[in-house]
Amino acid sequence: MNEYAKKCPECRTDYEAKRLNQVYCSQKCKTRFNNRKVRMAHHEKEKVIANTHDILWKNREILHRFVTQKCPINQLNELGFDKNFITRFSKIEVDGKKKNCSHIYDHYFYFIDNNTIQIGIERSRT
Protein backbone atom coordinates (compact mmCIF):
# COMPACT_ATOMS: atom_id res chain seq x y z
CA MET A 1 0.00 0.00 0.00
CA ASN A 2 1.28 3.46 -0.91
CA GLU A 3 1.78 5.59 2.25
CA TYR A 4 1.38 8.75 0.18
CA ALA A 5 -2.11 7.83 -1.09
CA LYS A 6 -4.56 9.75 1.10
CA LYS A 7 -8.12 11.03 1.25
CA CYS A 8 -8.64 14.72 1.98
CA PRO A 9 -10.82 15.10 5.11
CA GLU A 10 -12.28 18.33 3.70
CA CYS A 11 -13.29 17.56 0.11
CA ARG A 12 -13.11 13.74 0.42
CA THR A 13 -11.08 13.31 -2.78
CA ASP A 14 -8.22 10.85 -3.10
CA TYR A 15 -4.83 12.46 -3.66
CA GLU A 16 -1.11 11.72 -3.68
CA ALA A 17 0.55 13.50 -0.72
CA LYS A 18 3.87 15.27 -1.21
CA ARG A 19 4.85 14.59 2.43
CA LEU A 20 3.82 11.84 4.84
CA ASN A 21 2.37 14.36 7.31
CA GLN A 22 0.31 16.18 4.67
CA VAL A 23 -3.36 16.08 5.68
CA TYR A 24 -5.23 18.12 3.05
CA CYS A 25 -5.06 17.85 -0.71
CA SER A 26 -4.54 21.60 -1.12
CA GLN A 27 -4.06 24.85 0.75
CA LYS A 28 -7.64 25.75 -0.22
CA CYS A 29 -9.02 22.70 1.65
CA LYS A 30 -6.81 23.35 4.66
CA THR A 31 -7.95 27.01 4.80
CA ARG A 32 -11.61 26.05 4.35
CA PHE A 33 -11.38 23.56 7.24
CA ASN A 34 -9.65 26.05 9.57
CA ASN A 35 -12.07 28.86 8.71
CA ARG A 36 -15.03 26.61 9.51
CA LYS A 37 -13.40 25.59 12.81
CA VAL A 38 -12.93 29.27 13.77
CA ARG A 39 -16.52 30.12 12.76
CA MET A 40 -17.89 27.27 14.86
CA ALA A 41 -15.83 28.31 17.90
CA HIS A 42 -16.99 31.91 17.48
CA HIS A 43 -20.61 30.77 17.18
CA GLU A 44 -20.30 28.73 20.40
CA LYS A 45 -18.76 31.72 22.18
CA GLU A 46 -21.59 33.98 21.00
CA LYS A 47 -24.19 31.50 22.31
CA VAL A 48 -22.53 31.46 25.74
CA ILE A 49 -22.28 35.25 25.85
CA ALA A 50 -25.92 35.68 24.78
CA ASN A 51 -27.12 33.19 27.38
CA THR A 52 -25.11 34.87 30.14
CA HIS A 53 -26.38 38.31 29.12
CA ASP A 54 -29.97 37.02 29.18
CA ILE A 55 -29.53 35.75 32.75
CA LEU A 56 -27.86 38.99 33.85
CA TRP A 57 -30.58 41.11 32.26
CA LYS A 58 -33.31 39.03 33.92
CA ASN A 59 -31.52 39.50 37.27
CA ARG A 60 -31.32 43.26 36.66
CA GLU A 61 -35.02 43.47 35.82
CA ILE A 62 -35.91 41.57 39.01
CA LEU A 63 -33.72 43.88 41.10
CA HIS A 64 -35.26 46.91 39.39
CA ARG A 65 -38.73 45.90 40.65
CA PHE A 66 -37.48 46.20 44.23
CA VAL A 67 -34.91 49.00 43.89
CA THR A 68 -34.19 50.84 47.20
CA GLN A 69 -36.01 48.10 49.15
CA LYS A 70 -34.99 45.38 51.56
CA CYS A 71 -36.17 42.10 50.14
CA PRO A 72 -36.09 38.42 51.18
CA ILE A 73 -33.75 36.55 48.84
CA ASN A 74 -36.33 33.74 48.61
CA GLN A 75 -38.79 36.16 47.01
CA LEU A 76 -36.25 37.03 44.32
CA ASN A 77 -35.36 33.35 43.81
CA GLU A 78 -39.03 32.56 43.18
CA LEU A 79 -38.96 35.13 40.37
CA GLY A 80 -35.94 33.41 38.78
CA PHE A 81 -33.15 35.52 40.29
CA ASP A 82 -29.71 33.84 40.22
CA LYS A 83 -27.28 35.49 42.65
CA ASN A 84 -24.38 33.67 40.99
CA PHE A 85 -24.63 35.86 37.88
CA ILE A 86 -23.25 39.33 38.54
CA THR A 87 -21.13 41.81 36.61
CA ARG A 88 -18.75 42.89 39.40
CA PHE A 89 -18.07 43.11 43.12
CA SER A 90 -17.31 46.09 45.32
CA LYS A 91 -17.27 47.10 48.95
CA ILE A 92 -19.54 49.82 50.22
CA GLU A 93 -19.81 51.44 53.61
CA VAL A 94 -23.14 51.00 55.39
CA ASP A 95 -23.59 52.35 58.91
CA GLY A 96 -19.82 52.55 59.35
CA LYS A 97 -19.26 48.94 58.26
CA LYS A 98 -17.85 47.61 54.98
CA LYS A 99 -20.29 45.40 53.09
CA ASN A 100 -19.56 43.13 50.13
CA CYS A 101 -21.72 44.38 47.31
CA SER A 102 -22.65 42.53 44.11
CA HIS A 103 -23.46 44.53 40.97
CA ILE A 104 -25.60 43.63 38.00
CA TYR A 105 -25.03 46.35 35.45
CA ASP A 106 -26.29 49.56 37.12
CA HIS A 107 -28.05 47.82 40.05
CA TYR A 108 -26.48 46.37 43.16
CA PHE A 109 -27.36 44.36 46.22
CA TYR A 110 -25.78 43.34 49.50
CA PHE A 111 -26.86 40.96 52.20
CA ILE A 112 -28.23 42.49 55.39
CA ASP A 113 -28.47 39.02 56.94
CA ASN A 114 -28.55 35.45 55.55
CA ASN A 115 -32.07 35.87 54.15
CA THR A 116 -32.45 39.57 53.31
CA ILE A 117 -30.78 41.82 50.76
CA GLN A 118 -30.77 45.55 50.25
CA ILE A 119 -31.16 46.61 46.63
CA GLY A 120 -29.95 49.85 45.11
CA ILE A 121 -29.21 51.56 41.84
CA GLU A 122 -26.02 53.38 40.97
CA ARG A 123 -26.29 57.03 40.14
CA SER A 124 -25.01 58.25 36.81
CA ARG A 125 -21.37 59.35 36.95
CA THR A 126 -21.80 62.19 34.47
Q: pLDDT tens digits for the chain (126 residues)?
A: 689 999 999 999 999 999 999 999 999 999 999 999 999 999 999 998 999 999 999 999 999 999 999 999 999 999 999 989 999 999 988 889 899 999 999 999 999 999 999 999 987 655
Strands (E), 8-113: 14-16, 70-72, 88-94, 97-104, 107-111
The pLDDT of residue 72 is 95
pTM: 0.65
The pLDDT of residue 71 is 94
Query: Which amino acid does the sequence have at 90?
Result: S
